[in-house]
């Protein structure tokens, strides 16, 4: 029996919450723990692509060609120097929104494209754009579950309510197996009273769906993308790198997988 890849959509309709940071760094840390990982950049901004050290303007073909049927995932994916595969994106992907309108099964294009990959990867991570458009819908339809990165602030709770409503609609109409894998607290500053309060509210409402691992606000984590590297390759000793290693291990533990993060649990703190 072929083991099926766990397909996780990293999504939040609110921007600036650490979504792409999570997709890139979690991919690198899962690979570090021996997992076969494919990261798919579904955002026309292509930030996940550049965060992996790939130059967007020469990354051809891209996920755009996959979605419109000009290429396959196997022929399009790139092997990064960080141990995982990447399906890149660039601004051309913005045109997919229009091009998909005239294509049959437009909500299922990514799901169908990934069908041929079963058995070749343990995890497929989808970096979805911060909007509910056809690209995000394709990600949610293809996914088994969603990971929701969010900051512990008031407006984040309002956005979470809208996102949960969206997920319920997708599950009812397009993907009956879609579930929330977990909520990830990002850019966490324990010195803030509001941050602590919102964190407790999340735990009270979502319980075990909230990851134990917390991603701290961290300078090295913010700097890594400008060097085209996941933080584990940029500064392995930083709190950001250690936190994502712990998150990868927590995900494997939930799935009953192997691997061991070479870090003790790091209390969320300030810099570095």
In tens digits, what is the pLDDT along the chain, a chain of 272 residues?
A: 346 789 999 999 888 899 999 999 999 999 999 999 999 999 999 999 999 999 887 667 899 999 999 999 999 999 999 999 999 999 989 888 788 888 888 999 999 999 988 789 999 999 999 988 999 999 999 999 999 999 988 888 778 888 999 999 999 999 999 999 999 999 999 899 999 999 999 999 899 999 999 999 999 999 999 999 999 999 999 999 999 999 999 999 998 865 554 443 443 444 44
What one-character-per-residue DSSP string does 135-182 give?
A: HHHHHHHH-SEEEEEE-SSHHHHHHHHHHHHHHHHHHHHT-TT-EEEE
Query: Strand pairing partners for 124?
Result: 7, 38
60: Cβ contacts below 8 Å, ≥ 6 apart: none
- Asked whether residue 84 is domain-assigned, the answer is yes
- Asked whether residue 186 is domain-assigned, the answer is no
133: left (phi over 0), alpha (psi -120 to 50) or beta: beta
Q: From start to end of the chain, where are the E strands?
A: 6-10, 37-41, 78-79, 85-87, 123-127, 145-150, 179-185
The secondary element (H helix, E strand) that includes residue 110 is: helix 109-114
Q: What is the pTM of this model?
A: 0.91
Query: Strand pairing partners for 116?
Result: none
Rounded (10°) CA dihedral 268, 50, 134, 130: 30
Query: Do you know the residue count of the chain?
Result: 272
- Asked whether residue 117 is domain-assigned, the answer is yes
CA dihedral over 158, 201, 250, 7, signed as positive or negative: negative
- Asked whether residue 55 is domain-assigned, the answer is yes
Q: Which domain holds residue 139?
A: 6-147+217-255
Domain containing residue 110: CATH number: 3.40.50.300
Number of folded domains that form the chain: 1
- Asked whether residue 32 is domain-assigned, the answer is yes
* CA proximity to 93, closest of 80, 117, 76: 76
Six token digits for residue 271: 């810099």
- Asked whether residue 233 is domain-assigned, the answer is yes
- Asked whether residue 247 is domain-assigned, the answer is yes
170: Cβ contacts below 8 Å, ≥ 6 apart: 137, 140, 141, 178
- Asked whether residue 22 is domain-assigned, the answer is yes
What's the DSSP call for residue 11?
Answer: -
Six token digits for residue 214: 């917390």
């Amino acid at each position: 029996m072929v083991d099926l890849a766990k397909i996780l959509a990293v999504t939040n309709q609110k921007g600036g919450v650490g979504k792409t940071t999570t997709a890139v760094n979690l991919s690198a840390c899962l690979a570090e723990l021996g997992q076969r990982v494919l990261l798919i950049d579904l955002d026309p901004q292509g930030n996940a692509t550049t965060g992996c050290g790939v130059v967007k303007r020469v990354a051809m073909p891209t996920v755009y060609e996959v979605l419109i049927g000009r290429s396959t995932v196997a022929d399009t994916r790139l092997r990064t120097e960080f141990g995982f595969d990447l399906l890149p994106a660039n601004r051309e992907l913005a045109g997919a929104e229009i091009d998909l309108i005239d294509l049959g099964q437009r909500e299922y294009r990514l799901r169908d494209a990934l069908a041929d990959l079963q058995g070749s990867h343990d995890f497929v991570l989808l970096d979805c754009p911060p909007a509910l458009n056809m690209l995000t819908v394709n990600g949610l339809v293809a996914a088994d579950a969603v990971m929701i990165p969010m900051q512990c602030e008031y407006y984040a709770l309002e956005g979470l309510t809208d996102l949960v409503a969206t997920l319920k609609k997708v599950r009812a109409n397009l993907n009956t197996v879609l579930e929330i894998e977990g909520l990830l607290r990002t850019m966490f500053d324990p010195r803030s009273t509001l941050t602590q309060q919102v964190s407790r509210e999340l735990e009270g409402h979502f319980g075990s769906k909230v990851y134990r691992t917390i991603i701290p606000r961290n300078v090295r984590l913010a700097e890594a993308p400008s060097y085209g590297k996941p933080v584990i390759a940029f500064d392995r000793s930083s709190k950001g790198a250690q936190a994502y290693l712990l998150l990868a291990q927590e995900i494997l533990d939930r799935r009953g997988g192997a691997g061991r993060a070479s870090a003790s649990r790091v209390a969320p703190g300030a810099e570095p």
